[in-house]
Structure formats: structure tokens, C-alpha cells
Homo-oligomer: A and B are copies of this chain.
């Protein structure tokens, strides 16, 4: 048995990929993001690596597994970034800002991963889809809890913390749709603005009907 005949191990979430395995990961991110998972063939992936389709199977178990790895890794990264952002402060407004900025930064730095994760849910099998949906619900639950605490403390003013949580989250995720590293908008600038936007959503007392037209 030669060395290229070894099956690549399933990489845990935070393991660094190397060589061809890393190249495949990169090619999959780019092609899945551009053409969609089902619009990307194993031949497309292979061509990107300068090899033939069957050779891919020395680096992956299946195309489906690559998609699942991308989506699982991305959700784990998001949850971890959320946890980290919560450390160090108990003030709801500051927590919302930190969590929002951390999420905005993650979307900017892992644009293709986030795009794929949100678009390709229907491309997963039932089991995997349930796992991903569970992680997404968990993410929203934390966001809602922050808003609820801020509301109870009189810092925020929203009708429904859950609705506000969804609004904040999807606004942040929307970055995947337009952000490009063109230099026109630096990462830090955009991150800060999105932090402001998140607080603008949660602190809407001032922009309610009546007060708006009455300014």
C-alpha cells in the first residue's frame, strides 16, 4: 500500500489541515460558495487541484462529508466566538455589542463558510440538518437571553426579544452577501458599524412611531 492510498482522517473541528487536504478544503469553499454544493461536481473539485476525480477520494470520504465538515466547523466557530465574546462583562448592552462585533468579524473572515452554511441546509441529509438546526437555535437562544436581560434592566426597548434576536442575527449574517475585501470598507470599520446597528435594533425606544414623525 502506498502513501497516497491512505484515507485522510476525518478532521476534528479545529485541526489544521495540511497540503492536499488543505487545498481540497479551499477549493470546496470557493466552488461551493460560487456554484452551490449541487452545482459543483467532483470533476470540478479535482480540476481545481490538478487531478482527476477519483483521486479526490484519497483526501475525502465523500463530497457530502466535505459539506458537512464545512457546516459543522462553521457553526462551532460561531458558538465559540459567541462564548468568548460574553466573557468579561455582565452589562447586556456591552454583551450585545461584543457578540455582534465578534459575529460580524467571523462572517467577514469566513465569508464563504458562512454563506455555504446558510444556503446549503437543504443539501444535507436529515440527520445532519437536524444537528445544524440545533446549533443555530442554540445561537439564537443566547442572543435572545442577552436582549431579555437588557430589557429587564431597562437598557433595551423591544416588543419581542426573540424577534429582535433574529433581526440582529440575520442583519449580521447578511454581511456574507455583500462584503468583499476591497479596501473600500475596512474590516474594523464595518465591524464597528454593525455593532452600532445591533444596538440600534435593540434600543428602539427613540425610533418608535410618533416620536419619529414628531422629532
Q: Which residues of A contact B (CB under 8 A)?
A: 34-36, 38-39, 91, 93-94, 97, 118-119, 122-123, 155, 158-160, 163-164, 166-171, 173-175, 177-178, 185, 189-190, 192-197, 199-204, 206-209, 212-213, 215
Complex CA–CA separation, A164 to B178 (angstroms) = 12
- CB-CB nearest in chain B for A208: B196
Check B197–A212 contact: CB distance below 8 A.
Answer: no
Chain B residues lying within 8 Å of A119, measured Cβ to Cβ, are: 119
| Given known contacts A91-B213, A213-B91, A215-B93, A170 and B160 CB-to-CB distance under 8 angstroms | no
Nearest-Cβ distance from residue A92 to partner chain B, whole angstroms: 10
Kindly identify which residue among B163, B170, B212 contacts A193, using a CB–CB cutoff of 8 Å: B163
15 A-B pairs whose Cβ atoms sit less than 8 Å apart in the complex: A34-B122, A36-B38, A39-B123, A158-B193, A163-B185, A163-B190, A163-B193, A166-B174, A166-B175, A167-B174, A170-B178, A197-B200, A197-B204, A200-B201, A203-B206
Copies in the complex: 2
Chain B residues lying within 8 Å of A215, measured Cβ to Cβ, are: 93, 155
Check A170–B177 contact: CB distance below 8 A.
Answer: yes
Chain B residues lying within 8 Å of A36, measured Cβ to Cβ, are: 36, 38, 122-123
Complex CA–CA separation, A38 to B213 (angstroms) = 47
Most central of A39, A170, A192 by chain B CB within 10 Å = A170
Kindly identify which residue among B93, B189, B197, B201 contacts A164, using a CB–CB cutoff of 8 Å: B197
